[in-house]
């Protein structure tokens, strides 16, 4: 511990966000980083606890507490407090392949498990992580380091999201020849086309991909394995295959009128904006994307993707935004049955909702509500939605709780753009069928518990395709663990250390 009284001497300071009314005018990241001096002071607040819950990554009451990557948080907080930024970088990347991503998009499970947060405010660990990795790029520490020895073994990674990139990174460092196949035009998967620029600017992805290429990883974009590229040819050419195609099968809304024009899946809406921005020098050109300009937008889903749709719609110039959430509003503070260091199940007002409040004067979210029917105009486009209120009930046979419609609670709202952000149902079936891998009851690729090998010889899986829709940090962990198992199967032993 750099300063035993640091948590008493200094108050928490975090990156400052640009005002809501200002940032909606652009699609860039909108937080101002702390100075190195400010971050060193924040590092002094870390207590080097006897039990560092921040790095535990354990499941408490069904939810993760602390970092699933087991990042060495107290160590690198102490190092930056003492001004040793280079060593802090080496300790950070020992457990995390991509701190440039997690320091931007992770919900900071480490901070929510920080001991300082029990009675005061937690250490600003996410801001410190950002400072360490950006300083490393500035000073040249984050440069390419190609492996000096090659094993001659070849591995194919199908999908270039965070899990696929993590697996490719470690296996390449180990000395295997790694080729990553991506069906989209650019590398990144969820990072590129599922997360808006405001949270993760795409040049950050390209910066890391260029380093991985210098280190020897081969990226093949526009290659749709399972369709244009046969699985049999991949299995013949490579010694091992890792399927990391994400949970890319969006959950639909099965109600009358669903076939109306103007109803889109959230991922298609967000992807169209990202592609349009990239093609037109960060400017939106009319006719090149799914536009919310002047529209009455309804977002179905209250999670991160739904929030991203709210923020993106406002930047388009939406006339209004309504966000539906099936579940009741979470409490504003921890309930008694949700004690620290469990993940806090409290109401979070994210950047998109903040911007909606600034623009329209109220929170866009409506709780315990869902769609009962879409109504069309004469041209077949959605013009209204019939909504219905929900209440929690218990199933008498299973004892499980579920949300049931309240008869007579229906009401109608005007909408002309609907974005479905209701989650995902596992990977797309054509990939799993092409390789012949088994699926579980949740349509994820099936493996033994704690294992990444599928029922097909030499075929492994990782990430959302394996565990279901989850956080970037969990995808990175899965990719790391899968890489270790692949290496063991190839060499008979492994020296890939993942924590």
- Tens of pLDDT, residue by residue over 13-47, are 999 999 999 999 999 999 999 999 999 999 999 98
The residue out of 420, 442, 473 marking a domain boundary is: 420
In degrees rounded to 5, what are phi and psi of residue 461? Answer: -145, 160
**Distance, CA of 278 to CA of 36 (rounded, Å):** 31
What is residue 70's predicted lDDT score, i.e. its pLDDT? 96
Q: What is the mean pLDDT of residues 461-482?
A: 96
| Position 397 confidence tier, pLDDT thresholds 50, 70, 90 | confident
Q: Are residues 288 and 414 in the same domain?
A: yes
Buried/exposed code over 217-236 (b: 16+ C-beta within 10 A; e: otherwise): bebeeebebbeebebeebbe
- Domain boundaries, position 329: 263-420
263-265 vs 240-243, strand pairing mode: unpaired
Q: Are residues 407 and 429 in the same domain?
A: no
Cβ(427)–Cβ(445) below 8 Å: yes
Q: For residue 66, give the CATH number of its domain.
A: 1.10.1060.10
What is residue 62's predicted lDDT score, i.e. its pLDDT? 87
What is residue 311's predicted lDDT score, i.e. its pLDDT? 98
Q: For the segment 65-107, what is each residue's pLDDT rounded down to a tens digit?
A: 999 999 999 999 999 999 999 999 999 999 999 999 999 999 9
**Distance, CA of 125 to CA of 116 (rounded, Å):** 11
Distance between first and last Cα of the chain: 21
Q: For residue 342, give both structure tokens.
A: 């469990």
Q: Are residues 273 and 413 in the same domain?
A: yes
What is residue 102's predicted lDDT score, i.e. its pLDDT? 98
Q: For the segment 406-459, what is each residue's pLDDT rounded down to a tens digit?
A: 999 999 999 999 999 999 988 889 999 999 999 998 899 999 999 999 999 999
Cβ(284)–Cβ(328) below 8 Å: no
Q: For residue 468, give the CATH number of its domain.
A: 3.50.50.60
Beta-sheet strands, E only, within 161-312: 177-182, 218-221, 240-243, 263-265, 296-300
Q: What is the mean pLDDT of residues 464-493?
A: 97
Question: By percentage, how much of the chain surpasses pLDDT 70?
Answer: 100
Q: Are residues 429 and 460 in the same domain?
A: yes
In degrees rounded to 5, what are phi and psi of residue 347? Answer: -70, 125
What is residue 425's predicted lDDT score, i.e. its pLDDT? 86
Query: What are the angstrom distances between the C-alpha of 349 and each of 25, 33, 354, 482?
Result: 20, 21, 6, 35
Structural domain contains residue 232: yes
From the number of C-beta atoms within 10 Å of its C-beta (0-12, 13-18, 19+), residue 258 rates as middle
Question: By percentage, how much of the chain surpasses pLDDT 90?
Answer: 92
Structural domain contains residue 258: no
Structural domain contains residue 148: no
Q: What is the mean pLDDT of residues 196-216?
A: 98
């Amino acid at each position: 511990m750099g300063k035993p009284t640091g948590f008493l001497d200094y108050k928490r300071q975090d990156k400052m966000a640009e005002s809501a009314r200002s940032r909606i005018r652009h699609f860039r990241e909108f937080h101002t980083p702390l100075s190195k001096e400010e971050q060193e002071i924040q590092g002094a607040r870390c207590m080097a606890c006897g039990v560092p819950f921040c790095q535990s990554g354990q499941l408490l009451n069904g939810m993760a507490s602390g970092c699933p990557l087991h990042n060495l948080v107290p160590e690198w907080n102490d190092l930056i407090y003492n001004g040793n930024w280079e060593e802090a970088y080496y300790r950070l990347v020992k457990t995390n392949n991509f701190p440039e991503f997690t320091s931007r998009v992770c919900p900071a499970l480490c901070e929510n498990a920080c001991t300082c947060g029990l009675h005061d405010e937690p250490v600003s660990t996410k801001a410190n992580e950002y400072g360490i990795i950006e300083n490393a790029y500035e000073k040249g520490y984050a440069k390419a380091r190609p492996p000096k020895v090659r094993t001659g073994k070849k591995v194919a990674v199908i999908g270039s999201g965070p899990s696929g990139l993590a697996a490719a990174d470690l296996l390449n460092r180990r000395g295997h020849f790694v080729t990553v196949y991506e069906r989209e035009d650019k590398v990144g998967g969820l990072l590129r086309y599922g997360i808006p620029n405001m949270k993760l600017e795409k040049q950050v992805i390209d910066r890391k991909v260029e380093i991985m290429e210098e280190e020897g990883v081969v990226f093949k974009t526009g290659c749709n394995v399972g369709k244009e590229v046969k699985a049999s040819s991949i299995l013949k050419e490579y010694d091992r295959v890792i399927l990391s195609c994400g949970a890319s099968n969006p959950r639909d809304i099965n109600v009358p009128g669903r076939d109306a024009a103007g109803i889109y899946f959230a991922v298609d809406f967000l992807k169209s904006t990202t592609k349009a921005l990239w093609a037109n020098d960060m400017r939106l050109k009319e006719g090149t994307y799914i536009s919310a300009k002047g529209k009455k937008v309804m977002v179905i889903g209250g999670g991160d993707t739904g929030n991203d749709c709210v923020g993106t719609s406002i930047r388009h110039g939406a006339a209004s935004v309504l966000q539906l959430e099936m579940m009741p509003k979470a409490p504003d503070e921890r309930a008694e049955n949700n004690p620290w260091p469990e993940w806090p199940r409290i109401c979070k007002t994210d950047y998109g909702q903040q911007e909606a409040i600034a623009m329209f004067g109220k929170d866009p979210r409506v709780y315990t509500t869902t769609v009962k029917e879409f109504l069309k105009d004469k041209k077949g486009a959605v013009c209204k939605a019939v909504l219905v209120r929900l209440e929690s009930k218990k199933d008498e046979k299973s004892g499980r709780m579920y949300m049931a419609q309240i008869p007579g609670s229906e009401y109608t709202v005007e909408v002309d753009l609907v974005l479905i952000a209701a989650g995902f149902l596992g990977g797309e079936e054509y990939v799993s069928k092409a390789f012949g891998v088994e699926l579980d009851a949740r349509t994820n690729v099936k493996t033994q518990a704690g294992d990444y090998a599928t029922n097909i010889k030499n075929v492994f899986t990782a990430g959302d395709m394996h565990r279901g829709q989850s956080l970037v940090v969990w995808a990175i962990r899965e990719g790391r663990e899968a890489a270790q198992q692949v290496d063991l199967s190839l060499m008979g032993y492994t020296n890939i250390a993942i924590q």
